[in-house]
Amino acid sequence: MSYPDQVPARRPVVVTTAAALLGLMALAAGVYAVTTLLALRGTVDRFRVAAADTAADPGDVDGVVRLLRLGTVGAAVLTVLVGLLLVGLAGGLLARRRAARIGVWVVCGLGLLAGGCALAALVGQRVRPLRLGSGDQGVADLFGTLDDAYPSWWVPVNAGVSVGQALGYLVVAVLLVLPAASTWFATRRPVGPGSGPPPFTPASEPDPGAVPPVPPPR
């Protein structure tokens, strides 16, 4: 007799690959966060030098610098948190937790949406820069100067990260939909090396030659 919901199946390659991809994406997220923080100081220095040749007020320059620092640090912290979440989900997949599989699908959907929005914003910023009114010409010049203050590798790296993020989430989601992954997550995890259904022991039949016990006298 077989017990399909108790058999400890070997982990499929698709699940291991999905967990490895999540770990790789988490590592890439950490590297990207550190890289953006390291590039922040040079970007601010180049921006201040270029802003000196514009008609912007020093207060506006300081405001843009604060906005740049706050946005960069906030994005780096968010990226690190997402990386930690991916590591936790990868561990849940390897441990055959069904909730982790569902969580990966949710994160993949959100990641695809975020990656597409980031790529669209990056392309839109380059194709159609921000245009303000004539009274805000100094602020418009500052934002144009800020675009030029980023390193030359900034746009290609960000575009590559957005595309790679979207592809990675898509591949992970597809791997976890495959039949091998569905079958593996549908089975129960074994509790221990000796877990499983107890062996069948037939009920003992009474011996016809046995003498029934005599009750004690009252």
For residue range 20-64, list pLDDT tens digits in order.
999 999 999 999 999 999 999 999 999 888 888 777 778 888 888
As a residue count, the chain comes to: 218
What whole-number distance in Å separates Cα of residue 212 and Cα of residue 151? Answer: 97
pTM of structure = 0.74
What is residue 128's DSSP assignment?
A: S
- Determine the average pLDDT of the residues in 175-179: 95
pLDDT digits (tens, 9 = 90+) for 86-132: 999 999 999 999 999 999 999 999 988 887 787 777 666 555 555 54
